[in-house]
């Protein structure tokens, strides 16, 4: 397996282009299952998670062609040959469960493996299941698989989610596009990826309103048709690269970034003494004066501070002036980066869902490893400011969600390379 070597201490200057959003693409791709006509996605990110979703869709009979070096995905589900999402694929990527809603809507049945243990917490599927049951599906758990049936098709319903789950909102939204009658999703997730999915479904002929708010209304239609859709910018990749100059110094412009995607995050950066300026092409980020200051962070569903930026923010706060408090409220086990940051000389402790970070002048390079995508990239960010060499092992996790991290950071002056593990 590859590793990334970072030698810290260089300020970063220049531009980084932000790719299409992984978490939007992983919901948009299964939308192909809703129609027998083609769906084209442009601005697709080139990531191993997208390849995993490709494998899954192909196993169901969909055709997936990658064009323009992977930036365009031409999908077609003219004929479905299977309605079963196998454990071997689902265990690799939880987002595989996003085929459940579309399969039920189109084929009136689906067999989808439960994702099982996940590095960042239990992540059950109960909210997805209750929502689809409210729409008339019968769902049983057998042999680790959810067996879902909707003889005669799904029916529109009033669905109140007990928590604003992103995935459950996406599954319900997709399912409702072909259901008979009107569906109201209450306490819906409001993430930009939900709005992006709704935009794509509307382009396919779905009737949806209220996306981006807590109540989404969907009038079911008989069929969806061909469409082309551009994947929204990845706000988590954006936030990650915005932290690079905040940590290492210099000034970086993130091309394609917009404030509205990362408002709560930008507010915390501002409080920490990092300036963010919206330009014609993106967001320009630099420290206001020297070292950032400590700030407190509480993760929350959108529009709150994203859990997917908590680890990266912690990397910055490790060298900020003062003591910060980070509270993780979305996942029960999302501090895997903390012990690795300790190995780099950070001063912090974790109690339950709260991490307390006391900023130190300088981190020190070390071999580190993390078992989650965002934790891994936080260690690269920490390495940018650390004295000496940081070796981030198990790059497999990074490649799930960051395309060419070493090329993007290298282009703005980071001393970073990918090496093959002996």
Given the rule CB under 6 A, which residues bind ligand EPU? Answer: 23, 26, 94-95, 121-128, 163, 165-168, 307-308, 330-331, 373-374, 401
Map tokens 């992977």 to a residue: 70
Pick from 330, 328, 333, 302: nearest CA to 313: 328
Nearer to ligand EPU, 366 or 373 (CB): 373
Nearer to ligand EPU, 125 or 286 (CB): 125
Cβ 262 to ligand EPU shortest distance, Å: 13
Map tokens 């995607």 to a residue: 261
* Backbone phi, psi, residue 117, to 5°: -55, 140
Cβ 123 to ligand EPU shortest distance, Å: 4
Cβ 34 to ligand EPU shortest distance, Å: 18
Tokens found for residue 98: 């996003």
Cβ 332 to ligand EPU shortest distance, Å: 7
Cβ 24 to ligand EPU shortest distance, Å: 8
Q: How far apart are CA 170 and CA 148, in angstroms?
A: 17
* Backbone phi, psi, residue 376, to 5°: -60, -45
Cβ 311 to ligand EPU shortest distance, Å: 9
Q: How far apart are CA 62 and CA 80, in angstroms?
A: 6
Which residues form the catalytic set? 118
Nearest-CB residue for ligand EPU: 167
Nearer to ligand EPU, 5 or 132 (CB): 132
Nearer to ligand EPU, 21 or 75 (CB): 21
Cβ 241 to ligand EPU shortest distance, Å: 15
Cβ 127 to ligand EPU shortest distance, Å: 3
Nearer to ligand EPU, 20 or 250 (CB): 20
Sign of CA dihedral 84, 87, 92, 97: positive
CA distances to 49, 58, 103, 169, 278 from 89, rounded to whole Å, are 11, 12, 16, 22, 40
CA distances to 123, 369, 396 from 414, rounded to whole Å, are 35, 20, 21
Nearer to ligand EPU, 103 or 330 (CB): 330
Q: How far apart are CA 238 and CA 247, in angstroms?
A: 15
CA distances to 33, 174, 324 from 108, rounded to whole Å, are 12, 13, 50
Nearer to ligand EPU, 118 or 350 (CB): 118
Nearer to ligand EPU, 12 or 176 (CB): 176
């Amino acid at each position: 397996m590859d590793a990334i070597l970072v030698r810290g201490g260089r300020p970063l200057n220049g531009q980084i282009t932000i790719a299409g959003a992984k978490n939007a693409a992983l919901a948009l791709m299964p939308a192909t299952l809703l129609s027998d006509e083609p769906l084209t996605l442009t601005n697709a990110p080139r990531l191993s998670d997208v390849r995993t979703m490709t494998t899954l869709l192909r196993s169901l009979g969909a055709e997936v062609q990658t064009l323009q070096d992977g930036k365009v995905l031409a999908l077609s589900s003219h004929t479905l040959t299977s309605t079963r999402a196998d454990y071997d694929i689902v265990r690799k990527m939880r987002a595989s469960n996003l085929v459940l809603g579309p399969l039920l809507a189109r084929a009136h049945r689906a067999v989808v493996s439960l994702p099982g243990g996940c590095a960042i917490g239990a992540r059950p599927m109960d909210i997805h299941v209750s929502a689809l049951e409210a729409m008339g599906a019968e769902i049983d758990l057998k042999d680790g698989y959810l067996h879902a049936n909707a003889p005669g098709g799904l029916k529109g319903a009033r669905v109140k989610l007990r928590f604003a789950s992103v995935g459950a909102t996406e599954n319900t939204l997709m399912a409702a596009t072909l259901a008979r009658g009107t569906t109201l999703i209450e306490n819906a997730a409001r993430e930009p990826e939900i709005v992006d999915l709704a935009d794509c479904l509307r382009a396919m002929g779905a009737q949806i309103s209220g996306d981006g708010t807590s109540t989404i209304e969907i009038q079911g239609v008989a069929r969806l048709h061909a469409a082309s859709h551009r994947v929204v910018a990845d706000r988590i990749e954006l936030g990650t690269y915005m932290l690079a100059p905040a940590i290492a110094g210099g000034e970086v412009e993130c091309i394609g970034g917009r404030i509205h995607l990362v408002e709560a995050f930008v507010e915390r950066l501002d409080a920490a003494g990092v300036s963010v300026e919206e330009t014609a092409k993106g967001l320009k980020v630099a420290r206001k004066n020297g070292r950032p200051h400590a700030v407190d962070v509480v993760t929350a569903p959108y529009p709150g501070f994203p859990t997917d930026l908590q680890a990266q923010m912690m990397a910055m706060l490790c060298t900020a002036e003062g003591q910060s408090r980070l509270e993780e409220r979305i996942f029960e086990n999302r501090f895997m980066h903390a012990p690795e940051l300790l190995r780099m000389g950070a001063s912090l402790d974790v109690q339950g869902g709260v991490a307390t970070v006391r900023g130190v002048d300088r981190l020190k390079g070390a071999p580190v490893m993390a078992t989650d995508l965002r934790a891994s990239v936080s260690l690269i960010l920490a390495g940018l400011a650390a004295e000496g060499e940081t070796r981030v092992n198990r790059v497999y996790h990074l490649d799930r969600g960051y395309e060419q991290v070493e090329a993007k950071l290298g282009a703005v002056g980071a001393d970073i390379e990918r090496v093959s593990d002996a």
